Amino acid sequence: MTGARGSHWLAAFAVHGMLLVGVAFALYPVLWVASLAFSGTATPEPRVLPWPEEPTLRHLTEVVGATADDGGETIWIFGRQLLNSLVVGTATAIVGVLIAIPTAYALARFEFLGKRSGMGVLLATQMFPAVASAIPLYLILEASGLLNTRTGLVLCYASTAVPFAIFQLRAAFEAIPVDLEEAAMVDGATRLGAFVRVVLPIARPAIAVTSLFAFMSAYNEFILAATLLDDSKMFTLPVMLQRFVGEYDARWEAFAAGALVVSLPVMGLFYVAQRHLVAGLASGGVKG
C-alpha cells in the first residue's frame, strides 16, 4: 500500500512538473514583452530573468493616451482604433455564425445533391492564405465602393470565418442525438421549433467557442486590414501597432506596450467564456 501511494505521488509530481515547465515555456516570451513595455531604458540588456529596467509607464500612456487633431477636434486615437477593432470583430463573429448555423445544421441532418462536393469546396477555401486574396478583394471592394470601410473589412473577414464556423458547428450538430429532435416533434414541435428549442441550447457551447474564434481571427488580422484601409480613422489596432515599426527604425518599447493593451480584450473574452471552451471544443471535435 505504501509503495502504491509513493508511486502515485511520484507520478503526480512528475505531471505537475511537466505542466509547470510547459507554462514557463509559454509565458517566457510574454514576460519579455512586458519587460520591454515597462522598461525605461531604450535597449534593455539580455538576461535570463526578464525584469523591467528603470520601470516606467511612459510607453503605456504614450500608446493609450495618444491624441490627434481632426479638423479642429481632438480625437482619442487609441479609443477610435479600439472601437474599430471591436466593431469589426463582433460584426464578423455575428455574420459568420448566423450564416454558418443553418448551413451546418443542413449539412449535419439532411442528404442532398452536392453535399459532399460542397464540403470539399468549403475545405479548399481554407487552404489559401489571406495574402493570396488581398488583391482580388481590393479590386472587388473598390468596384463596389466599400474600400476603406468597416463594412468591406467585415465582409472580407466573414468570407473566411464562415467556412471554419460551418465545419465546427456541423460536427457539433452531428454529436447531438437525432432522438431528441424526434421526441420534440412527437410532442407537437415543428422541425424549426425542435431546432430552436432543443438543438440550439445544446449547441450553445460550440456556438460560443466558434464565435470567439471568429472574433479573434478578425480582431488580430493585419494583412487585409493594412491593405484595404487607408484612412487612419478606420485603422484597427494591429495596423496601429505596425506604425511603431518603421523602415529604418523601430520603437519596440511602444510596440510591446501596445501589444499588451491590444491583448486585454481577448483575454477578457477568454475569461468570460472559459466555461464554454472545453465543452465547445469537445462537441466540435467529435466528428468531422
**Residues sharing a CB contact under 8 Å with residue 85, sequence separation 6 or more, in sequence order:** 219, 236, 237, 238, 262, 265
What one-letter code names the amino acid at 287?
K
Last residue within a domain, chosen from 56, 86, 102 = 56
98 and 189 in a single domain? The answer is yes
87 and 143 in a single domain? The answer is yes
149 and 44 in a single domain? The answer is no
User: How many Cβ atoms from other residues are within 10 Å of residue 277's Cβ?
Assistant: 14
Q: For residue 238, what are the domain limits?
A: 73-284
The enclosing domain of 275 has a CATH number of 1.10.3720.10
How many domains does the structure of the chain reveal? Answer: 2
Contact 167, 125 (CB under 8 A): no
145 and 195 in a single domain? The answer is yes
Lowest mean pLDDT among 61-65, 146-150, 225-229: 61-65
Does position 180 have pLDDT exceeding 80, yes or no? yes
Instruction: Indicate whether 106 belongs to any domain.
Output: yes
158 and 194 in a single domain? The answer is yes
The burial class, CB within 10 Å (0-12 / 13-18 / 19+), for 4 is exposed
32 and 163 in a single domain? The answer is no
DSSP state of 112: -
Give percent of the chain above pLDDT 70: 89
Instruction: Indicate whether 62 belongs to any domain.
Output: no
Instruction: Indicate whether 65 belongs to any domain.
Output: no
Q: What is the mean pLDDT of residues 250-275?
A: 83
Instruction: Indicate whether 163 belongs to any domain.
Output: yes
Instruction: Indicate whether 256 belongs to any domain.
Output: yes
Q: What is the mean pLDDT of residues 57-70?
A: 81
121 and 186 in a single domain? The answer is yes
Instruction: Indicate whether 136 belongs to any domain.
Output: yes
Per DSSP, what are the bridge partners of residue 250? 245
Write down the pLDDT at residue 277.
65
Does position 92 have pLDDT exceeding 90, yes or no? yes
d(CA 176, CA 160): 26
Write down the pLDDT at residue 287.
43
Write down the pLDDT at residue 243.
81
44 and 113 in a single domain? The answer is no
Q: Kindly report the average pLDDT of the chain as a whole number.
A: 83
